[in-house]
Amino acid sequence: MRSEEQILARKKYIQIINNAKQENRIKKRGIFSGYETHHILPKAKTMFPNWKKEKRNLIFLTPKEHYESHRLLTIIWPCYATFFGWNRITHDGNHNFITINEYEVLRKNISELAKIQSTGNCNAKGAGKRTPEQCLRIKNGVSKEGLIKRAQGSMKKVICINTGETFNSLQEVCNKFGIAKSKLSTKLKNHKKWKNYQFVYG
């Protein structure tokens, strides 16, 4: 017998899937379009392996939807397979936990840099099979963990000492003061002022 928590999780999961289906989302092969492929019924051998390659079992979700869907699956079917899938999304290579917002920023970073697949070293034979993360590692030596750290850094709170204001991200500071994110990041790192304004991480 399902618990109330499982019933609610199932309803929310179905709602996410149905909303995605109604939008008729398209994901071009080899290009990260802002969507991630998700198996509606888990493809694990201990669950629904026969549905692994069924097109009707695939859906395109946003990073946040994908993250939340795997969390809900651990409630609907609490077993090794669902927790393994959830763990892969929520942790980096060093076992550090990634929040849903950090995951979204990470995927956006990868989306912006995915064009590397068709440039530089990624023109090599077999490049079409490489993931954006692999291409980044080849081109710039940037690992998935490095991108995660970059995502986590952009989500840090920033305080303006002069005004006492607290900002939830670097981008909020940039929008308010008109400073480039790269310049702000450098000023924070070196503890230097920008136009008499002093910023520190919260």
pLDDT digits (tens, 9 = 90+) for 1-17: 678 999 999 999 999 99
Tell me if residue 166 falls in helix, strand or coil: strand
Tell me the C-alpha distance between 127 and 147, whole Å.
20
Per-residue model confidence (pLDDT) at position 154: 53
Q: Is the pLDDT of residue 109 over 90?
A: no
Residue 202 has pLDDT above 80, yes or no: no
The pLDDT, as a whole number, for residue 144 is 53
Residue position matching structure tokens 């946040």: 64
Report DSSP state, residue 95: -
* pLDDT at residue 121 is higher than 60: no
Q: Are 115 and 135 in contact (CB under 8 A)?
A: no
User: For a pLDDT cut of 70, what percent of the chain falls above it?
Assistant: 71
Residues 105 and 133: their CA atoms lie apart, in Å, by 14
Nearest to 129 by CA among 1, 19, 60, 30: 30
What pLDDT does 183 receive? 82
Structure tokens at 17: 């899937």
What is the per-residue pLDDT for 153? 55
Domain chopping of the chain, boundaries: 4-90, 111-153, 156-201
How high is the mean pLDDT of the chain? 77
The pTM (predicted TM-score) of the whole model is: 0.59
Task: Identify the pLDDT of residue 5.
Answer: 92
Please indicate whether residue 182 or residue 56 has the higher confidence score (pLDDT): 56
| Beta strand pairing call for 166-167 and 158-160 | antiparallel
Dihedral, CA atoms, 99, 87, 55, 35, nearest 10 degrees? 20
